Structure 1
Amino acid sequence: MGPVAQEQTAEPLTQYVHRMLRRVRAFDRRHPLAWDLHLTGFCVSAALIDWAGDGWRNIARNPEVPGWLVLTLSLGLTVPLLWRRTHPRTVLLAMAPMTLANAWTGATLQAALLQLVVLYNIALRLPLRTLWWTTPVVMAPVCVTAVRHPHGSWDQQVVPALMSTALVAVIGIAVRTRRDYTAALEDRARRLEIERDQQARLAAAAERARIAREMHDIIGHNLSVITGLADGGRYAATKTPERATQALQAISTTSRQALTDLRRLLDVLRDEETLPSDPDLTPQPTLTDLDHLIAGVREAGLPVRTTIHGKPTALPPGRQLTVYRVIQEALTNTLKHAGPGATSHIEISYDDGGAVTVTATDTTHHPQAAPRTPGQGRGLTGMHERTALYGGTLEAGPLPHPDHGWRVHLRLPEELPQ
Structure 2
Amino acid sequence: MTRLPTADRPATPAPVTPERDTPTAQPRTSPEPLTAHIQRTRARIRAFDRRHPLLWDLTFTGFWVTAALIDYAGGGWRNVTHNPDTPRALLLALSLGLTVPLLWRRSRPTTVLLAMTPFAVANAWSGAALQAALLSLVVIYHITLRLPLRHLWWATALTIGPVALTAARHGEGQWSQQIGSSFTSVVVAVLIGLTVRTRHDYTEALEDRARRLEIERDQQARIAAAAERTRIAREMHDIIGHNLSVITGLADGGKYAAGKSPERAAQALDAIGATSRQALGELRRLLDVLRDDDETAPLPADRTPQPGLADLDHLLDGVRATGLPVRLTVEGDPTLSPGRQLTVYRVVQEALTNALKHAGPGAEADIRIVHGTAGAVTVTITDTGSPASPPAMPSDGRGLPGMRERTALYGGTLEAGPRPHPERGWRVHLHLPEEPSQ
Q: What is the CA–CA distance in structure 2 between the aligned matches of 1:56 and 1:279, rounded to whole Å?
A: 92
Does the aligned pair in 1 maintain the 2:410–2:432 contact within 8 Å? yes
Q: Which residue of 2 aligns with 1:284?
A: 306
Q: Which moved more, 1:11-20 or 1:241-250?
A: 11-20
Does the aligned pair in 1 maintain the 2:368–2:380 contact within 8 Å? yes
Alpha-carbon offset, residue 26 of structure 1: 0.8
* Distance change in 2, residues 1:282/1:194 (3 Å): farther
5 Å matches for 1:378-397?
378-397=398-417
Q: Which residue of 2 aligns with 1:243?
A: 264
Q: What is the CA–CA distance in structure 1 between the aligned matches of 2:167 and 2:130, rounded to whole Å?
A: 15
5 Å matches for 1:58-97?
58-97=79-118
Q: Which residue of 1 aligns with 2:216?
A: 195
Partner of residue 293 from structure 1, selected from 304, 315, 327: 315
Q: Which residue of 2 aligns with 1:180?
A: 201
Cα deviation per residue 1:92-126 (whole Å; 9 max; x = unaligned)? 22322221221122111111111010011112112
- Does the alignment pair 1:305 with 2:327? yes
* Distance change in 2, residues 1:48/1:165 (3 Å): same
**Cα RMSD (Å) of the superposition?**
3.0
Q: What is the CA–CA distance in structure 2 between the aligned matches of 1:169 and 1:371, rounded to whole Å?
A: 76
Q: Which moved more, 1:167-176 or 1:212-221?
A: 212-221
Q: Which runs of 5+ in 1 are unaligned?
A: none
* Identical-residue share of aligned pairs (%): 67
Q: Which moved more, 1:264-273 or 1:84-93?
A: 264-273
Alpha-carbon offset, residue 311 of structure 1: 0.8
Q: Which residue of 1 aligns with 2:367?
A: 346
Q: Which moved more, 1:286-295 or 1:197-206?
A: 197-206
- Does the alignment pair 1:44 with 2:80? no
Q: What is the CA–CA distance in structure 2 between the aligned matches of 1:170 and 1:41, rounded to whole Å?
A: 26
TM-score by length of 2: 0.85
Q: Which moved more, 1:279-288 or 1:232-241?
A: 279-288
2:393 counterpart letter in structure 1: T
Partner of residue 166 from structure 1, selected from 176, 179, 187: 187
Q: What is the CA–CA distance in structure 1 between the aligned matches of 2:128 and 2:432, rounded to whole Å?
A: 92
Classify the secondary structure of the residue corresponding to 1:377: coil
Classify the secondary structure of the residue corresponding to 2:342: helix
- How many pairs does the alignment contain? 415
Partner of residue 227 from structure 1, selected from 223, 228, 248: 248
Does the aligned pair in 2 maintain the 1:151–1:157 contact within 8 Å? no
* Distance change in 2, residues 1:100/1:402 (3 Å): farther
2:317 counterpart letter in structure 1: A
Partner of residue 284 from structure 2, selected from 243, 263, 266: 263
Q: What is the CA–CA distance in structure 1 between the aligned matches of 2:176 and 2:366, rounded to whole Å?
A: 103
Alpha-carbon offset, residue 372 of structure 1: 5.8
2:214 counterpart letter in structure 1: E
Q: Which moved more, 1:203-212 or 1:42-51?
A: 42-51
Q: What is the CA–CA distance in structure 2 between the aligned matches of 1:229 and 1:198, rounded to whole Å?
A: 46
TM-score by length of 1: 0.88
Q: What is the CA–CA distance in structure 2 between the aligned matches of 1:104 and 1:175, rounded to whole Å?
A: 34
Q: What is the CA–CA distance in structure 2 between the aligned matches of 1:216 and 1:307, rounded to whole Å?
A: 26
Cα deviation per residue 1:150-199 (whole Å; 9 max; x = unaligned)? 33344543333222221111111111111211222222222222222222
Does the aligned pair in 2 maintain the 1:375–1:381 contact within 8 Å? no
Alpha-carbon offset, residue 403 of structure 1: 6.5
Q: Which runs of 5+ in 2 are unaligned?
A: 1-17
Q: What is the CA–CA distance in structure 2 between the aligned matches of 1:7 and 1:148, rounded to whole Å?
A: 67
Q: What is the CA–CA distance in structure 1 between the aligned matches of 2:315 and 2:181, rounded to whole Å?
A: 94
Q: Which residue of 2 aligns with 1:318?
A: 339
Classify the secondary structure of the residue corresponding to 2:437: coil
Does the aligned pair in 2 maintain the 1:339–1:366 contact within 8 Å? no
Q: Which residue of 2 aligns with 1:377?
A: 397
* Distance change in 2, residues 1:268/1:276 (3 Å): farther
* Distance change in 2, residues 1:23/1:381 (3 Å): same
* Distance change in 2, residues 1:44/1:398 (3 Å): farther
Q: What is the CA–CA distance in structure 2 between the aligned matches of 1:209 and 1:65, rounded to whole Å?
A: 87
Classify the secondary structure of the residue corresponding to 1:417: coil
